[in-house]
Amino acid sequence: MKIEFPESLPKSGALAVAVTKDKTLSSTAKLIDQQTQGAITRALKVGRFTGEKDQVLELVAPAGLNLSRIVLYGLGDPKVIDALALENAGGNVVQRVSGTGDSDVVIAVDALPRCKLKTPTMAAEVAFGARLGGYRFDRYLTDEKPEKKPSVKRLGVYAKNAAAAARAYERLAEVAEGVELTRNLVSEPANVLYPASFAARCEELKDIGVKVEVLDLAQIKKLGMRALIGVAQGSANEPRVVIMRWNGGAKADDKPIAFIGKGVTFDTGGISIKPAAGMEEMKWDMGGAGVVTGLMRALAGRKAKVNVVAALGLVENMPSSTAQRPGDVVKAMSGKTIEVINTDAEGRLVLADVLWHIQQRFKPKVMIDLATLTGAIIVALGHNHAGLFANNDRLADWLLEAGLATGERLWRMPLHDSYEQDIKSPIADIKNVGDRWAGSISAALFLKHFVNDGPWAHLDIAGTTWCYKNQPTVPKGGSGFGVRLLDRLVADHYERGGAKK
């Protein structure tokens, strides 16, 4: 989908105009209403559409104009319209028009009385939402009929001061690139995306100035990442650790912020094998690594003024004659010994070594890891919040705020010592699972064993990485949850002279 900011209203194709609460027409809606001898006013009389948020109403082939359709989109109360409401509107319009056969749609974005946002910002947010909502992973659909494909090819966002709108959108377009990269990675099947091929995808980021280092099995062994290797050893696909760096900070030696992602390209459970039903979902057990990669794409793309280190632990968890067994004891890179009670609790083993390595090598000022770590976080929070665990209240608050601002919401969970007893082992320093209860907390506490006192947060994104129900800006499939959140965190708190937005 091509996105433009035209200077005039279209003569053909679809045109979307805003209506706010109580059926209040925006200025373009009024103009179009006049040009169609009151088609909009009449339509508003005969349906339930009132102009509330997320409502959409379609008028087909209006008399008086050559448009194929007019789409009314609701924005609710102008006083409380925020970026998310506009993004949703953009997504809603594109998703609706994509089912009609129209290839061209223009969304008119007007200044609204009492709305706090500037019109160019509003237009950019609408474009951003439309782009995110129009995403689709279709590379393996080879015989879909053209009339079944989403039809929108060109989107225009019409607003006063088109040049300013286009400029405001530039930054958001880079974030969208990052979200799309994450969605693509998460959606790929595991025969296509395995550790080596994932690492190759990361290397493509060199083109936009990211430094990419790929550690192979020999190098990983040399570093002593035995916990990670224990997980990988059952698979013919050898592990990789990818380290990416973006140095946009004022000084090259400014301490970086670090992002670490669980990248289990497929999780069968290993010898503690998972049930067959639904196992195909475990292709997205690399969701954390997918977010970290997409985030690097976004930060480098918009030339973020910050030093960042990103690290991925890429492994495939398979059962085989070389796989690790329940009861095995491995010595992590940090020197701690781990009794592997359940080979399906593999993500924490991978992260243990990657967290430790990044901390020792780069001395980051903050570390944030993302992982589809536990089914238990889905039991606790479902699909609308990710679990947040942090050893630092300020960092936790910043993350919670960024979540509210971007719609990628977090809920803070306890990381209290009293749960430590769950992971005590009689034979090793710790074991890799607790008992039945509080599974996400014992997993987070396990990770904490490999983190020193510096600020650290762990996001358990098992419930948010895959979207099961179409949403305005998140189509069904890989969600990209986390990219916008962390881009925002970086922009608001770690970038020098960076935009507050």
- Which one of Zn ion, Mn ion, ligand BES, none interacts with residue 461, CB within 5 to 8 A by kind? none
Catalytic residue flag (residue 348)? yes
Q: How far is the CB of 308 from Mn ion (least distance, A)?
A: 28
Which residue in this structure is represented by tokens 């609706």?
96
Options 90, 249, 288, 347; binder of ligand BES; rule CB under 6 A = 347
102 binds Zn ion per the rule CB under 5 A: no
Would strands 386-390 and 456-460 be described as parallel, antiparallel, or unpaired?
Answer: antiparallel
377 binds Zn ion per the rule CB under 5 A: no
Beta bridge partners of 221: none
In the bound state, the residue with its beta carbon closest to Zn ion is 267
Provide the phi-psi class of 219: left if phi over 0, else alpha when psi is between -120 and 50, else beta: alpha
In sequence order, the 6+-apart residues with CB closer than 8 A to the CB of 238 are 195, 196, 216, 217, 232
Rounded (5°) CA angle 379-380-382: 65
- Which one of Zn ion, Mn ion, ligand BES, none interacts with residue 462, CB within 5 to 8 A by kind? ligand BES
**1: nearest Cα among 97, 141, 87:** 97
Site string for ligand BES, 284-323 (x = CB under 6 A): -x--------------------------------------
290 binds Zn ion per the rule CB under 5 A: no
Q: How far is the CB of 334 from ligand BES (least distance, A)?
A: 21
Site for ligand BES, residues 209 to 268, rule: CB under 6 A? 267
CB 409 within 8 A of CB 399: no
433 binds ligand BES per the rule CB under 6 A: yes
Which residue in this structure is represented by tokens 């400014």?
254
For the beta sheet containing 456-460, the strands, ordered from the edge strand earlier in sequence to the opposite edge, are 211-215, 240-247, 307-317, 257-267, 366-371, 456-460, 386-390, 410-412
Which residue in this structure is represented by tokens 């997993």?
443
CB closer to ligand BES out of 347 and 480: 347
CB closer to ligand BES out of 87 and 267: 267
Instruction: Pick the catalytic residue from 53, 96, 245, 348.
Output: 348
In sequence order, the 6+-apart residues with CB closer than 8 A to the CB of 212 are 202, 203, 205, 206, 242, 243, 244
CB 221 within 8 A of CB 264: no
CB closer to Zn ion out of 190 and 210: 190
- Which one of Mn ion, ligand BES, Zn ion, none interacts with residue 388, CB within 5 to 8 A by kind? none
CB closer to Zn ion out of 256 and 288: 288
Catalytic residue flag (residue 274)? yes
Options 33, 188, 267, 369; binder of Mn ion; rule CB under 5 A = 267
33 binds Mn ion per the rule CB under 5 A: no
- Which one of Mn ion, Zn ion, ligand BES, none interacts with residue 487, CB within 5 to 8 A by kind? none
Instruction: Pick the catalytic residue from 21, 30, 154, 274.
Output: 274
316 binds Zn ion per the rule CB under 5 A: no
Would strands 24-25 and 14-20 be described as parallel, antiparallel, or unpaired?
Answer: antiparallel
CB closer to ligand BES out of 36 and 372: 372
Q: How far apart are alpha carbons 20 and 70 in whole angstroms?
A: 16
Options 180, 344, 408, 422; binder of Mn ion; rule CB under 5 A = 344
CB half-sphere exposure, 360, CA atoms < 13 A: 12
CB 212 within 8 A of CB 205: yes
SS3 454: coil
Q: How far is the CB of 312 from ligand BES (least distance, A)?
A: 15
Would strands 386-390 and 410-412 be described as parallel, antiparallel, or unpaired?
Answer: parallel
Would strands 466-467 and 386-390 be described as parallel, antiparallel, or unpaired?
Answer: unpaired
Q: How far apart are alpha carbons 44 and 29 in whole angstroms?
A: 12
Options 347, 434, 439, 480; binder of Zn ion; rule CB under 5 A = 347
Q: How far apart are alpha carbons 467 and 477 in whole angstroms?
A: 5
Among the candidate windows 101-109, 207-215, 254-262, 267-275, which touches Mn ion by CB under 5 A?
267-275
**Catalytic residue positions?**
274, 348
Q: Give the residues lining the site for Mn ion (CB under 5 A).
A: 267, 344, 346
Q: Give the residues lining the site for ligand BES (CB under 6 A).
A: 267, 285, 342, 344-347, 372, 374-376, 433, 439, 462
Q: Give the residues lining the site for Zn ion (CB under 5 A).
A: 264, 267, 285, 347
